[in-house]
Structure 1
Amino acid sequence: MERIVYVNGEYVNESDAKISIFDRGFLMADGVYEVTTVLDGKLIDFDGHAKRLTRSLNELDMKPACTDEELLEIHRELVKRNNVEEGMVYLQVTRGAADRDFAYPKDAKPSLVLFTQDKPGLANSPAAQIGMKVISIDDIRWGRRDIKTVQLLYPSMGKMMAKAAGCDDAWMVEDGSVTEGTSNNAYIVKDGVIITRHLGNEILSGITRAAVLRFAKEAQMKVEERSFTISEAQDADEAFVTSASTFVMPVVEIDGTAVGTGNVGPVASRLREIYLDEMRKAAI
């Protein structure tokens, strides 16, 4: 059965979905996106994603396609129409269709596309019991990684580099320090302290990151926001990543070196448990 997707005001079968070939998201990667998790048929941290979407649009001087209230209704309708219990809702806003030009068009109407991805077993992923293996790669992306744009070619390349090396993901390194994973924020744990890079233009302000750090502090865990190196990560007691699709995912190996015991550690496991419990309570 085909998914129902949303394209510029209409709910249509995915095979009938159409966007102009002149859409700047297609021609210029002139667009932003968000991915909201669905658990038990409800949306996780929708408000956080909506606020970050607004920030991304503002940073690119891009008009919103609709209000936050309308976005919420579209999300809920898609979850309902596609019977999603566990999965994701992907949202993309572009500057719209206009004749190809590097200058922003003055009167283009923003394009808005949403679709669901059904992912049964997302919360009980076996990977969380095994842990991920990552490699390090140079971070050669543009300088405004704090804007959640659709420019995802290099992260895709990084993911493929990791797979070619027999690993699950890549951590990107700039000026000797880890920035983030290809689609997640990166963390290490040393002597009971959770360490993750401070916010700035170099990394995305993860919605899951914000929630996990808040829960960690509420649980009396020590948190330090600063840069760290690959060698420091290899010498850590634990490592993990966070994202909307993986929640809290342990990392057990970095560039062929086992982290800690080489097994999933207690801090990452506990944070994953807390995150899932608390976010399920707050889901809408």
Structure 2
Amino acid sequence: MNNIVFLNGQFLPANKAMVSLFDRGFTYGDGVFETMRSYNGKVFALDLHMERLTESAGRLVIPFHPKRIYFKNSIEKLLKLNKLNHEGAYIRLTITRGVDYGRLIPSQALKSTIAIIAKPLDAKIQQYQRNGMRAVYLSNKRSLPHIKSINLLSNVLGLIEAKKRKAQEGIFTDGNKILEGAITNIFISDGKSIKTPPIEDGILPGITRRLLIELARKEGIEVAEISLSKKDLKNCKEAFLTNSIMEIVPLLKIDDKLVGNGKIGLLTRRLQQSYKYMMLRQP
């Protein structure tokens, strides 16, 4: 696929976009990123993604002072160039510390590398939303959980393990405590209220997680951000996973055990519909 990408201010064919072998993103995984979803050519929750990207870069001491309108216009132009402005699309914005010929400790005054890609959504997403997903427990957890770092080895290994066990997602754990998925946040429900692990437990502050909590509370659904155990998931009536690309996906099985009765819960379906409506109303 030779689509158009954005690299350091230029729109280029993907096979012409070159990043130095000395870029710290390549040599050390020294960078941050955001994945976003667009609807009809408009990026959903762009401000929240830029806010988190800026915070992640700040934690890594990567100078990054984004101008919202610049990135908004660049992403929308990229969508048009790739003929993705009339459908949903996957967008990834990556910032690395930049090219550095020095040692592990960063040199001074480096210029960040900025790259944006856009591509069609995976066709499996709708299938997961309709039919749910299966997950497995993982015995490790994300490194630097509050930073959306491009160093995703724990997540990669987690998904490899999940696939080996014929599942689509892996759930990080800390002993008996459940944390988050390799690419998602997790919620459980008794059919009336919802619970999700708190940020303080060492999870990524997901954008969809944040928006869903706000949406549920507006609809009068009780939300608790509280530590959860494997027993809590075993005993819940329904559960679901969230991220910016897949939105809300029912979780029907963990390891070889059914979640609830193994069917998609009514509250999960309600929240899926409410969330979709919220996104389609964006200006």
After TM superposition, the score normalised by the length of structure 1 is 0.95
How far apart, CA to CA, are the structure 1 residues paired with 2:150 and 2:122?
26
How far apart, CA to CA, are the structure 2 residues paired with 1:255 and 1:115?
34
How far apart, CA to CA, are the structure 2 residues paired with 1:122 and 1:216?
26
Per-residue CA distance 1:202-235 (angstroms, 9 max, x = gap): 1111111111111100110111101111221021
1:255 positional shift: 1.4
Q: Could you tell me which amino acid in structure 2 is paired with residue 130 of structure 1?
A: N
Mapped contact 2:37–2:245 kept (Cα < 8 A): yes
Alignment of 1:84-123 (within 5 A): 84=84, 85-119=87-121
How far apart, CA to CA, are the structure 1 residues paired with 2:124 and 2:213?
21
Per-residue CA distance 1:83-126 (angstroms, 9 max, x = gap): 11211111000000011412122111000000101127687x02
How far apart, CA to CA, are the structure 2 residues paired with 1:43 and 1:52?
15
Q: Could you tell me which amino acid in structure 2 is paired with residue 194 of structure 1?
A: I
Per-residue CA distance 1:29-72 (angstroms, 9 max, x = gap): 11000011012222111111011111111111111174222111
Distance 1:234 1:32, change over 3 A: same
Per-residue CA distance 1:156-179 (angstroms, 9 max, x = gap): 111111111111111010132111
What is residue 38 of structure 1 aligned with on the other side?
A: 38
Q: Could you tell me which amino acid in structure 1 is paired with residue 94 of structure 2?
A: Q
The secondary structure found in structure 2 opposite 1:126 is: helix
What is residue 137 of structure 1 aligned with on the other side?
A: 138
Alignment of 1:228-243 (within 5 A): 228-243=228-243
Where structure 2 has 5 or more consecutive residues not aligned to the other structure, the ranges are none
Distance 1:122 1:131, change over 3 A: closer
How far apart, CA to CA, are the structure 2 residues paired with 1:55 and 1:201?
19
1:191 positional shift: 5.2
How far apart, CA to CA, are the structure 1 residues paired with 2:95 and 2:68?
13
How far apart, CA to CA, are the structure 1 residues paired with 2:141 and 2:202?
11
Where structure 1 has 5 or more consecutive residues not aligned to the other structure, the ranges are none
Per-residue CA distance 1:245-279 (angstroms, 9 max, x = gap): 11010000111111111011111111111111101
Percent of pairs with identical residues: 27
Distance 1:42 1:161, change over 3 A: same
Mapped contact 1:95–1:110 kept (Cα < 8 A): yes
Distance 1:214 1:65, change over 3 A: closer
How far apart, CA to CA, are the structure 2 residues paired with 1:122 and 1:40?
19
How far apart, CA to CA, are the structure 1 residues paired with 2:227 and 2:149?
23
How far apart, CA to CA, are the structure 1 residues paired with 2:140 and 2:41?
36
Runs of 4+ in 1 over 4 A off after TM superposition: 120-123
What is residue 193 of structure 1 aligned with on the other side?
A: 193
Distance 1:216 1:66, change over 3 A: closer
What is residue 80 of structure 2 aligned with on the other side?
A: 80
| 1:13 is aligned to 2:37 | no
Mapped contact 1:196–1:224 kept (Cα < 8 A): yes
Mapped contact 1:146–1:201 kept (Cα < 8 A): no
Alignment of 1:197-216 (within 5 A): 197-200=197-200, 202-216=202-216
After TM superposition, the score normalised by the length of structure 2 is 0.95
How far apart, CA to CA, are the structure 1 residues paired with 2:191 and 2:251?
17
